[in-house]
Chain A
Amino acid sequence: MKKLLTLIILFTSTVVSAGNLIINSNQSGASSKAGFDAYVDAFRAAHPEVTVVVNEFEHEAYKTAIRNFLTAEAPDVAIWFAGNRMKFFVDQGLFQDVSDVWADAGLNDSMASSKGSLTVDDKQYGVPWGYYQWGVYYRKDLFDNLDLNVPKNWEEFKSVCAMLKKNGITPITIGTKYLWTAGGWFDYLNLRINGYQFHMDLTAGKVSYEDPRLDATFDHWRELLDAEYFLEDHASFSWQDAQAPQINGEAAMYLIGNFYVPTLEEAGVKDKMDFFQFPTIVEGVGVAEDAPTDTMHIPSGAKNVEDAKKFLAFMSNKEAATNWATMGGMLSPNKYADKPTDRFSIMGAEMLAAADDIAQFWDRDANPDMAGAAMEGFQEFMVKPDREDKIRARLEKERARIHGAL
Chain B
Amino acid sequence: MFPTPIQNYSLKVNIAYRLLLLLTLIVWLLPLIAVMLTSMRTFEDVLAGNYWTFPEETALISNYTAVFEGGKMGRFFLNSLIITLPTVFGTLFLSSLAGYSLAMHRFKLNLLVFAMFIAGNFVPFQILMIPVRNISIEMGMYNTHIGLIIFHIAFQTGFCTFFLRNFIKELPFELIEAARAEGATEWIIYRKIILPLIIPALAALGVLEFTFIWNDYFWALVLTQGDSVKPITVGLDALRGQWTTSWNLVSAGSVVAALPPVIMFFILQKQFIHGLTFGAVKG
Which residues of chain B have C-beta atoms less than 8 A from A45's C-beta?
none
Q: How far is the CB of A146 from chain B (nearest CB, A)?
A: 25
Q: Is A14 an interface residue (CB 8 A)?
A: yes
Q: Is A58 an interface residue (CB 8 A)?
A: yes
Q: A residues near B, CB below 8 A? A: 5-6, 8-9, 12-15, 24, 28-30, 55-61, 65, 68-69, 71-73, 238, 240-241, 243-244
In the complex where A72-B137, A244-B245 touch, is A12 in contact with B144 (Cβ < 8 A)?
yes
Check B225 against A69 for contact (C-beta < 8 Å).
yes
Which residues of chain B have C-beta atoms less than 8 A from A69's C-beta?
143, 225-226
In the complex where A9-B146, A29-B242, A241-B244 touch, is A56 in contact with B227 (Cβ < 8 A)?
yes
Which residues of chain B have C-beta atoms less than 8 A from A55's C-beta?
225-228
Binary per-residue interface labels of chain B (140-163) against chain A in the complex, 1 for a CB within 8 Å, 0 otherwise: 111111100000000000000000
Check A73 against B227 for contact (C-beta < 8 Å).
no
Instruction: Determine the distance from Cα of A50 to Cα of B228 in the docked complex, in whole angstroms.
Output: 20
Q: DSSP majority for the B interface?
A: loop
Which residues of chain A have C-beta atoms less than 8 A from B146's C-beta?
8-9, 12-13
Q: How far is the CB of B65 from chain A (nearest CB, A)?
A: 17
Check A240 against B225 for contact (C-beta < 8 Å).
no
Instruction: Determine the distance from Cα of A125 to Cα of B65 in the docked complex, in whole angstroms.
Output: 41
Q: A57-B226, A57-B227, A241-B244 are in contact. List 13 more A-B contacts (CB 8 A).
A: A13-B146, A28-B238, A55-B225, A57-B238, A58-B239, A60-B241, A61-B237, A68-B142, A72-B143, A73-B137, A238-B244, A240-B244, A243-B245
Check A71 against B137 for contact (C-beta < 8 Å).
yes
Check B238 against A73 for contact (C-beta < 8 Å).
no
Check A59 against B241 for contact (C-beta < 8 Å).
yes
Instruction: Determine the distance from Cα of A68 to Cα of B221 in the docked complex, in whole angstroms.
Output: 11
Instruction: Determine the distance from Cα of A13 to Cα of B245 in the docked complex, in whole angstroms.
Output: 34
Q: Which residue of A lies closest to B238 (CB)?
A: A58
Binary per-residue interface labels of chain B (226-247) against chain A in the complex, 1 for a CB within 8 Å, 0 otherwise: 1111000000011101101100
Instruction: Determine the distance from Cα of A30 to Cα of B244 in the docked complex, in whole angstroms.
Output: 11
Question: CB within 8 Å of A: which of B159-179?
Answer: none
Check A12 against B241 for contact (C-beta < 8 Å).
no
Q: Which residue of B lies closest to A66 (CB)?
A: B225
Interface centre among B145, B225, B242 (most CB of A within 10 A): B225
Instruction: Determine the distance from Cα of A30 to Cα of B72 in the docked complex, in whole angstroms.
Output: 14
Check A12 against B145 for contact (C-beta < 8 Å).
yes
Q: Is B21 an interface residue (CB 8 A)?
A: no
Q: Is B268 an interface residue (CB 8 A)?
A: no
Which residues of chain B have C-beta atoms less than 8 A from A68's C-beta?
142, 225
Which residues of chain B have C-beta atoms less than 8 A from A57's C-beta?
225-227, 238
Q: Which residue of B lies closest to A56 (CB)?
A: B227
Q: Which residue of A lies closest to B141 (CB)?
A: A9
Q: How far is the CB of A234 from chain B (nearest CB, A)?
A: 15
Instruction: Determine the distance from Cα of A58 to Cα of B241 in the docked complex, in whole angstroms.
Output: 6
Which residues of chain A have C-beta atoms less than 8 A from B225's C-beta?
55, 57, 65, 68-69, 72-73
Check B140 against A9 for contact (C-beta < 8 Å).
yes
Instruction: Determine the distance from Cα of A30 to Cα of B146 in the docked complex, in whole angstroms.
Output: 32
Q: How far is the CB of A77 from chain B (nearest CB, A)?
A: 13
Q: Is B47 an interface residue (CB 8 A)?
A: yes
Kindly list the 3 A-B residue pairs having the minimum CB-CB distance in the complex, ordered from nearest.
A240-B244, A58-B238, A55-B226
Which residues of chain A have C-beta atoms less than 8 A from B194's C-beta?
none
Q: Is B97 an interface residue (CB 8 A)?
A: no
Which residues of chain B have C-beta atoms less than 8 A from A241's C-beta?
244-245
Check B47 against A244 for contact (C-beta < 8 Å).
yes
Q: How far is the CB of B173 from chain A (nearest CB, A)?
A: 37
Q: Is B132 an interface residue (CB 8 A)?
A: no
Instruction: Determine the distance from Cα of A244 to Cα of B229 in the docked complex, in whole angstroms.
Output: 34
Q: Which residue of A lies closest to B48 (CB)?
A: A248
Instruction: Determine the distance from Cα of A69 to Cα of B146 in the docked complex, in whole angstroms.
Output: 17
Instruction: Determine the distance from Cα of A136 to Cα of B174 in the docked complex, in whole angstroms.
Output: 82
Instruction: Determine the distance from Cα of A241 to Cα of B144 in the docked complex, in whole angstroms.
Output: 34
Task: Report which of B142, B144, B239, B245 forms a contact with A240, defined as CB distance below 8 A.
Answer: B245
Which residues of chain A have C-beta atoms less than 8 A from B238's C-beta?
28, 57-58, 61
Check B227 against A13 for contact (C-beta < 8 Å).
no
Which residues of chain B have C-beta atoms less than 8 A from A72's C-beta?
137, 142-143, 225
Instruction: Determine the distance from Cα of A92 to Cα of B28 in the docked complex, in whole angstroms.
Output: 52
Instruction: Determine the distance from Cα of A9 to Cα of B242 in the docked complex, in whole angstroms.
Output: 31
Instruction: Determine the distance from Cα of A143 to Cα of B38 in the docked complex, in whole angstroms.
Output: 35
The 13 listed contacts between A and B (C-beta, < 8 Å) are: A8-B146, A9-B146, A12-B82, A13-B146, A13-B229, A14-B228, A55-B227, A57-B226, A58-B241, A58-B242, A59-B241, A60-B241, A72-B142
Which residues of chain A have C-beta atoms less than 8 A from B244's C-beta?
238, 240-241
In the complex where A68-B225, A72-B225, A244-B47 touch, is A13 in contact with B242 (Cβ < 8 A)?
no
Instruction: Determine the distance from Cα of A6 to Cα of B229 in the docked complex, in whole angstroms.
Output: 17
